[in-house]
Amino acid sequence: MILMPNPYDPQGPARPEYFGGRKIVLEKVAERIAIARQHKKSGGILIYGHRGVGKTSLIDKIISEFSGTEDAPSDILIINRRLARTTNDQELYHMLNEELRQQIANRKNLLDRIRAATKNVNSVAAFDLSIGFSQPNEEKTPYNQWRELVGALRNVGLILIAIDDADFLAREAIGELKTIVEELSSTPILLIISGFVGFEEKLVDDYSPVARIFSGADFNIGKFSLDEIKEVLLKPLANEKTNWTDDAIVAVQKYTSGYPYLVQCIASASYIENGTIDEKRVKDSINVAVAIGKSWLEHEISEASDQDVISFARIASLDKDIVQSTEISKIGVSPPYIGRLVKLGILKKVRHGRYSLEKSPMIAIFELLKRGLSLNS
């Protein structure tokens, strides 16, 4: 008998067809795309949050939603890059130029494949550049190359630029985001940026002109609601006989507090092919789920005591990125423990009586599960 692969994969971004939740963000992207098309008006979407909340999965879903199909691709030219090192303004434009040209080549290859399959391509336009832009002009700066390329584009209704982990953008590169969006062009641009939880505050405090391009479309994504967890758990099972009981779905929310990465860990550990996943199955799978998450989460606060973890989890339950010392005291965390959490890198004092949460709250929930602790311990 051939076993079906486990449809839940905590080790990578969610497959777009299995993606659940984040409807508000997806609706806002669709709205901004419609505005860009109708009014030739560029804009931006900012997605930020702690690690493990699914920022990359969300960007992948957005790209999948607006790419069209293999036989009927959309007229949106999509540039998608995930940064892994500090990137200055020149490198940013070089990357954009490279990706734009690559997407033009990809569209040509796609049309060739459609023709080879003897399918109709009359309704699908090739992305193209005006004559004279087939090769990069190395004498021009990367910025000027970008301006000329965008101006020379043909058959493109919108350029969608997705930059994941934008925390790696250097100061001067962040400044260029405004230029990219506000540069006059016949082809509108939608810029989608993702970053760590402090990225939005950094923009507002240090780059307020840049922050304005995301006005009304900045999203601090975090925990899933119960309905979102249900969608995430059931979507991958559309063609399977495996099912989740309602009490099992509630148990997943209870044990994970709705943090997407932990939801995937418990879902993966609980999965049974062609079976019923009930509350007991979820509870019995906790140790396996912890083992799945260990490689990513175990060393985050390895020196923390059980009381440190409980204090961290209580602060995380406030569901705030910035907390007041008075709020911390009200939930039973004494002043000495605030100092302990600062030393462990969990909290950071930002000004008198105010602390930012530096570690993902998901880490606190993971440690509670790993150590068999509860907030009432």
Query: What are the pLDDT digits (tens) for 6-21?
Result: 999 999 999 999 999 9
* Amino acid 143: pLDDT: 95
HSE-up (13 A, CA, CB side) for residue 25: 28
Domains and CATH numbers, the chain: 22-220 (3.40.50.300), 226-297 (1.10.8), 306-371 (1.10.10)
Mean pLDDT value of segment 147-155: 92
* Amino acid 18: pLDDT: 94
What distance separates the 2 farthest-apart alpha carbons in the chain? 73
Helices (H) and strands (E) in the chain, counts: 16, 12
Residues 6+ apart with CB under 8 A from 119: 71
Would you say residue 129 has pLDDT above 90? Answer: no
**Residue 1: band (very low, low, confident or very high) from pLDDT cuts 50, 70, 90:** very low
Nearest to 157 by CA among 39, 254, 279, 6: 39
Give kind and range of the element (H or E) at residue 314. helix 306-316
First-residue to last-residue Cα distance in the chain? 46
Mean pLDDT value of segment 126-141: 75
Structure token digits, residue 271: 């999965």
| pLDDT tens readout for residues 252-307 | 999 999 999 999 999 999 999 999 999 999 999 999 999 999 999 989 998 999 99
**Residue 122: band (very low, low, confident or very high) from pLDDT cuts 50, 70, 90:** low
**Residue 134: band (very low, low, confident or very high) from pLDDT cuts 50, 70, 90:** low
* Average per-residue pLDDT for the chain: 92
* Amino acid 342: pLDDT: 95
Label residues 7-20 b or e (16+ Cβ within 10 Å = b).
Answer: bbebeebbeeebbb
Cβ neighbours of 225 (radius 10 Å):
11
Would you say residue 4 has pLDDT above 90? Answer: no
Mean pLDDT value of segment 330-346: 91
* Amino acid 351: pLDDT: 85
SS3 58: helix
**Residue 167: band (very low, low, confident or very high) from pLDDT cuts 50, 70, 90:** very high
Residues 6+ apart with CB under 8 A from 303: 344
Which sign does the torsion angle of CA 334, 340, 346, 351 carry? positive
Q: How far is the C-alpha of 306 from the C-alpha of 303, rounded, in Å?
A: 10
Q: How far is the C-alpha of 154 from the C-alpha of 72, rounded, in Å?
A: 18
Q: How far is the C-alpha of 155 from the C-alpha of 124, rounded, in Å?
A: 9
Mean pLDDT value of segment 326-346: 91
Would you say residue 204 has pLDDT above 90? Answer: no
The share of the chain scoring above pLDDT 70, in percent, equals: 95
Query: What phi and psi values does residue 17 have, to the nearest 5 degrees?
Result: -70, -15
| pLDDT tens readout for residues 67-98 | 988 888 999 999 999 999 999 999 999 999 99
Nearest to 313 by CA among 289, 337, 282, 294: 337
* Amino acid 135: pLDDT: 64
Mean pLDDT value of segment 145-167: 94
Cβ contact 80:59 at 8 Å: yes
**Residue 131: band (very low, low, confident or very high) from pLDDT cuts 50, 70, 90:** low
Residue 332, sorted as left (phi over 0), alpha (psi -120 to 50) or beta, turns out to be left
Query: What phi and psi values does residue 47 have, to the nearest 5 degrees?
Result: -120, 125
